[in-house]
Amino acid sequence: MSSGNPVIELRSVDKSFGPIDVLHEISLKVGEGEVLCLLGDNGAGKSTLIKTLAGVHQPTRGEILMDGQPTTFSGPRDAQARGIATVHQFGGTYPLMSVGRNFFMGVEPTRNVGPFKVFDREKANRIAVEEVQKMGITRITDGDRLVGGLSGGERQSLAIARAVHFGARVLILDEPTAALGVKQAAHVLRIVNEAKRRGLAVIFITHQVMHAMAVGDHFAVLIRGAIAADFRKGDKTREEIADLMAGGESMADLEANIEGYMETHDGHPPQPAA
């Protein structure tokens, strides 16, 4: 699936904050047109890893390579300038602003009216709607529409379309489907596939195994700051992955325990320990 050369690669990256080690020996790589799913429970170090990739944190040890060249990002702007785009759960969109203005936030197209630079609303709206539609969201037809009126999935898609339009090469999606319903999530997953088809390297962070399985080529499971498993599509079943994420404790065992308890207690499940 990968076209050989990884776009971005981490080589045994460690990150610690003072005495606390958050990431140990993280090595991973993503190539063009490849989706790497980063799975992990809450507190596994996913956010720190994202921030390291996005230039917010510098690795304590180890190195980051882009196109095979060792690099350091001086900050998030630097990482962005080199084509690393991060889309967070709520998409980085402004609910009370129009689609066009959201899309071009920070890079507004302008036209000159006399000596003044004026935001070119027509152009912004046209390009925004075009780009979003190209990503497969056909419901957005009016660039003047306020983003607050869009669904969560559409907002997410708008943010992804924006990153793609502005030349992102690596797309980091931080839990894009976590707050979405089934249909909305499917929406976003379609967009992820579209981004992949266009040759972006996608890092998809989630704890929903189903969503990961739907788009991922390559999976890494993060437990307590280390990569506990690294495998390719089709190597493991959904149950196996869920077990891995739960920290090796088998979900199947847990289920068996509950069933056993219920049989001996008139069908009541065990009370959770208060």
Interacting residues with other proteins (CB under 8 A): 76-77, 80, 86, 88, 90, 92-98, 101, 104-108, 110, 113, 116-119, 121-122, 141-142, 144-146, 148-149
Q: Where are the alpha helices (DSSP H) in 15-148?
A: 46-53, 76-81, 99-103, 121-134
**Closest approach of Cβ 148 to other proteins, in Å?**
4
Backbone angles phi, psi at 7, to 5 degrees: -75, -45
User: For other proteins, which is the closer residue by CB, 80 or 206?
Assistant: 80
| Beta strand pairing call for 201-206 and 20-31 | unpaired
**Closest approach of Cβ 90 to other proteins, in Å?**
8
User: For other proteins, which is the closer residue by CB, 18 or 106?
Assistant: 106
**Closest approach of Cβ 134 to other proteins, in Å?**
20
**Closest approach of Cβ 140 to other proteins, in Å?**
9
Beta carbons of 84 and 62 less than 8 angstroms apart: no
User: For other proteins, which is the closer residue by CB, 34 or 131?
Assistant: 131
User: For other proteins, which is the closer residue by CB, 17 or 119?
Assistant: 119
From edge to edge, which strands make up the β-sheet containing 6-17? 20-31, 6-17, 61-66, 69-71
Which pair of structure tokens corresponds to residue 153? 């999935």
User: For other proteins, which is the closer residue by CB, 62 or 92?
Assistant: 92
**Closest approach of Cβ 147 to other proteins, in Å?**
8
Distances (CA, A) of 264 to 194, 259, 261: 51, 9, 5
User: For other proteins, which is the closer residue by CB, 94 or 261?
Assistant: 94
**Closest approach of Cβ 79 to other proteins, in Å?**
11
CA pair distance 187, 180, nearest whole angstrom: 10
Beta carbons of 22 and 48 less than 8 angstroms apart: yes
Question: What b/e sequence results for 59-75 when a residue is b if at least 16 CB atoms lie within 10 Å of its CB, and e otherwise?
Answer: beebebebeeeeeebee
> Tokens 């170090």 identify what position?
45
| Beta strand pairing call for 116-119 and 110-113 | antiparallel
**Closest approach of Cβ 220 to other proteins, in Å?**
24
User: For other proteins, which is the closer residue by CB, 146 or 210?
Assistant: 146
Q: Identify which of 222, 195, 196, 216 has the alpha carbon closest to the alpha carbon of residue 204.
A: 216
